[in-house]
Amino acid sequence: MFKRQSINPQIVYRLIDFIVLGVAFYFSCMLLLVDPGSDLIVRILVYSTVLLISVHLCKSIAVRYKHFVGEITWQILGNATGILVGTIVILLLENLFPVGGEYMAATVFSGFMAFFILGTLLPLIHKKTSPL
């Protein structure tokens, strides 16, 4: 009767990464007592999008070295370089558009938080299950 449609797991993984990055930025704003103005949602979306794109690009560049290092090391290197590049891009954007210094601190802190979340929790979710 109904055909079961399978969802591409890469899309689900990207959505999980996007949500994790957004939540990390939101929590860093709340922990650092950043004034949640009306544009906080837009900032979260921009931050998550830029970091997701940079992590994806850095992982696709680092795939050349996947044979020299293990799978987990490749993911850690891709996440670290992607978050670093994305954070630098966000900080440059914040310098171009005048915002308070509290967003800069929240951006750096959320980068650290996102690195540890993406590096520790998400490899467990993204890990391929192998049949016994």
Kindly report, residue by residue over 89-117, the tens digit of the pLDDT.
Answer: 999 988 887 766 678 888 899 999 988 88
Is residue 57 predicted with pLDDT exceeding 60? yes
Q: Does residue 111 sit within a domain?
A: yes
H-run or E-run covering 57: helix 40-62
Q: Does residue 59 sit within a domain?
A: yes
Average pLDDT over residues 39-58: 90
Average pLDDT over residues 5-21: 82
What pLDDT sits at residue 22? Answer: 92
Task: Choose between 1 and 57: higher pLDDT.
Answer: 57
d(Cα 59, Cα 76) in Å, to the nearest integer?
9
Is residue 132 predicted with pLDDT exceeding 50? no
Q: Does residue 26 sit within a domain?
A: yes
The length of the chain is: 132
Q: What is the pLDDT of residues 17-46, one digit of tens each?
A: 899 899 999 999 899 888 777 788 888 999
| pTM of the complete model | 0.80
Q: Does residue 130 sit within a domain?
A: no
What pLDDT sits at residue 131? Answer: 40
Q: Does residue 3 sit within a domain?
A: no
Average pLDDT over all residues of the chain: 80
d(Cα 82, Cα 63) in Å, to the nearest integer?
13
Query: Domain range holding 48?
Result: 9-124
d(Cα 45, Cα 19) in Å, to the nearest integer?
10
Q: Does residue 47 sit within a domain?
A: yes
Tell me the torsion sign for CA atoms 68, 74, 78, 84.
negative
Q: Does residue 67 sit within a domain?
A: yes
Q: Does residue 85 sit within a domain?
A: yes
What's the number of domains the chain is made of?
1
d(Cα 21, Cα 67) in Å, to the nearest integer?
28
